[in-house]
Structure 1
Amino acid sequence: MAPPTSSSSTEHELLPAHEKREGVDVLWQIPDQPRAVLFIAHAGSGNPGTYWDHHPPNLNSYIGIQEHAQIVRYALSRSCAVIAVKSVKDYWQDWPPEASQDAINVKLILTAWLSEHGLQDLPLTALGAASGGNFVSVLALTVRFSAIVIMISHGVTRSFERSDGTYPPTLFIHMPKDAFTSKKVAEEKKTLRSKGVPAKGIACSEFPVYPQAFADHAPGIGFESAAKIYVEMISEGVLSSQGWVIEPLRPPKIGKLLQRLNISPVTSSDGLKAIRMREWEENISHLLRVAEARHAVTSRHCEEMFNWLEGKYSEDVGCCKD
């Protein structure tokens, strides 16, 4: 899970612009000379802030997830402007698109934002995860995307059944250990292909975790502490002796494990310490879920994903269909 090799990836501090539009949080970041736009729909019970590891002062409640933020790093390194929007409720309202307040909001937000930043003539793509994947599959019926990515979701069947020759090429990124979703992805790909829509799948496999991964995903934790966490997780049966995930832990249990090991952030205030601890808990928990490869947003196939997106860019202009 190394960062992209492009030198530009190190030039972008992940600090989004932010404002309220249509009553919801909108975050974005635009690189120099953007060549495309990526809209991100977060997972259910999530928020757009997880895709950036630093936030404006008024968004301190948002915790960045390194695995999510890596997707934005890749996007910026590939000259993609990124915009992410908060759903109205915890889960995106998807079907039917005509009655979805989220669909109404996102169309208005995208149309105005693209025009304001002079991006309306660039290819527009989308990435939706879990509930956000369902939403993107429906939104693609009324928003002109050059291509979409549906992650850890099989999308909405009725959307694919309604699709026609204008529906965008669709990439599914799924985890085969989620057998139901994988089976549905195979079915939805057939449906799309039968309608002449290019559709592809990428399967994410499990992998072993090593101490350095904890240090990479929880900045500031240090390799010595990461090694202690690794040994403790093997002792507790969270990891096998080879580092394979046996039982992923949720953030509260990660916090208790860190307390037992007397591992905590060194900060200037108790308030900041609590935020940093929460970041460690969330990021370590997410790392375990990605390594287990059952249901988690992942950046492990970013290079393949962005290669595919770039290959599907069309010459269409504007985001909204008539």
Structure 2
Amino acid sequence: MGKRTIASPPPPIPRLPFMPSNMVEVILPSHKQQNNRSAIDQLRSCYLKYSSLVSLMVILVIFLLLDWPKSSRHTLTVQTESYSKIAIPIHEVIDEIDVLWAAPTKRESNKSSPCGILFVAHGCNHAHTDWFVKCPQGCLGLPEEVAIVDLALERNLVVVAVSSENRDFKCWLPEVDGPRVASVLQKISEKYAPASSLLPIWAFGASSGGALVSVLGNYIKLQGYLSQIMARPPEQTIPESCIVYLTMEHDSMTRSMAKQILASRITDGRNAQHIRLPPLAISSPDFFSKRIGSVSNSNSESMVQSLQQGGFLDSQGYLKDDPRGSDWRSAVQPFAESDTLMADQSAISEVMNAAYSMHEMSREGVAKGLDFCMSVLPSSSSACG
């Protein structure tokens, strides 16, 4: 048998923008040489087949680009922009505790190093993975939590999140979780400053998380805390610490408790604040797309119109009934795409609850509360001033 000559493989096909995935990876069929064909014939045949395939692909790509739906272009743009500013946390195990934490970049804070730490505590039925979109073990990235992280990073704070020890009801037990959280915060702070001069630490928590941060000062020195949809009296009164209660308009019981607690404190009001969160009007067409990065403007507008037509909104755009008990899901389901609309897991569900202002994590008022707490920081720790 004569010596076999194998033709050199053709150069790789260049990738073209917006080419569908099933047309990018093209594997040419293997070319078997026949004994009675010369090397020149083989090369010519391969070239002809290759050039024909490339020509066909170019024509198809041009057609697809010209006929690419405008809605698809818009959706891609929205998703790219929404994820470009989201913090990617560091995953670390500290004292056998799974920790996610993110430090501000110079782009976010315009400063060279962090000036403090914000610990964030989830509510019942949630976890520390709610606070970030991208993380090694998979994060849920709920919109209100992600927005709160962004607010802290913009203020040059390191954001630290852990889950409660109880993974059945996923609520916090202060006597159990207090020491765990304190140990983590101590180690994170030592990364930036020696133990003798730890970074200032604040804490934010909602519902069960609000109860935890109210007593966290028993286990580690806090500069203050923000308790949302939970009003529990602090167990320690530190003159220079701040206390902020964020209560929702339809939650009259928590609002009343917050007023009583602040009225009973021996304070001139300099270190305590009560922020009331009114309902949010679902009237603007981009209401959902502005709060949820993965929702396109067109789907947002469709959801708002469907809620209006379904009678779920009043004339000003406010929800008539608590979404935890109404049938609003039937109105937005056709435009929800991959959102499951399941309670405690759905971005849209969380935003609906926040809009009603009864009992939900919300970014509303957090910026004001953080600014207040950082403004009353003692002069000896003025790096955040």
Partner of 1:291: 355
TM-superposed deviation, 1:193: 2.8
Contact in 2 for aligned 1:163/1:192 (Cα 8 Å): no
Partner of 1:186: 259
**1:76-87 alignment runs, 5 A limit:** 76-87=153-164
Cα distance in 2, alignment partners of residues 252 and 17 from structure 1 = 39
Task: Out of 232-241 and 188-197, give the one that drifted further.
Answer: 188-197
Partner of 2:307: 233
Cα distance in 2, alignment partners of residues 198 and 291 from structure 1 = 28
Contact in 2 for aligned 1:171/1:200 (Cα 8 Å): yes
Q: Sort the Cα spacing of 1:145 and 1:279 in 2 relative to 1 into closer, same or farther, 3 A.
A: same
Describe the superposition over 1:113-148 as per-residue Cα deviations: whole angstroms up to 9, x where unpaired: 211343753211111111111111111233211121
Partner of 2:98: 25
Q: 1:115 aligns with which of 166, 171, 190?
A: 190
Q: What RMSD over aligned residues (CA atoms) do the two structures have, in Å? A: 2.9
Partner of 1:174: 247
Cα distance in 1, alignment partners of residues 377 and 180 from structure 2 = 24
1:148 matched to 2:225: yes
Q: Sort the Cα spacing of 1:196 and 1:174 in 2 relative to 1 into closer, same or farther, 3 A.
A: closer
Task: Out of 217-226 and 124-133, give the one that drifted further.
Answer: 217-226
Partner of 1:103: 178
Task: Out of 219-228 and 141-150, give the one that drifted further.
Answer: 219-228
User: What amino acid maps onto 1:65 in structure 2?
Assistant: L
Cα distance in 2, alignment partners of residues 121 and 277 from structure 1 = 42
Q: Please, which runs of 5 or more residues in structure 1 have no aligned partner?
A: 1-9, 95-99, 266-272, 318-322
User: What amino acid maps onto 1:294 in structure 2?
Assistant: M
TM-superposed deviation, 1:22: 4.2
Aligned residue pair count: 285
Cα distance in 1, alignment partners of residues 264 and 182 from structure 2 = 26
- TM-score in terms of structure 1 length: 0.78
Contact in 2 for aligned 1:165/1:195 (Cα 8 Å): no
Cα distance in 1, alignment partners of residues 270 and 370 from structure 2 = 19
Partner of 1:6: none
Q: Sort the Cα spacing of 1:306 and 1:264 in 2 relative to 1 into closer, same or farther, 3 A.
A: closer
Q: Please, which runs of 5 or more residues in structure 2 have no aligned partner?
A: 1-82, 106-112
Contact in 2 for aligned 1:28/1:82 (Cα 8 Å): yes
Contact in 1 for aligned 2:342/2:349 (Cα 8 Å): no
SS of the equivalent of 1:20 reads strand
Contact in 2 for aligned 1:217/1:284 (Cα 8 Å): no
TM-superposed deviation, 1:219: 2.6
Cα distance in 2, alignment partners of residues 34 and 223 from structure 1 = 35
SS of the equivalent of 1:71 reads helix
Higher relative contact order (CA 8 A, sep 6+): 1
Q: 2:212 aligns with which of 92, 112, 135?
A: 135
User: What amino acid maps onto 1:57 in structure 2?
Assistant: P
SS of the equivalent of 2:368 reads helix
Partner of 2:372: 308
Contact in 1 for aligned 2:104/2:157 (Cα 8 Å): yes
Task: Out of 192-201 and 215-224, give the one that drifted further.
Answer: 192-201
Partner of 1:7: none
* Percent identity over paired residues: 21
Q: 2:136 aligns with which of 57, 63, 67?
A: 57
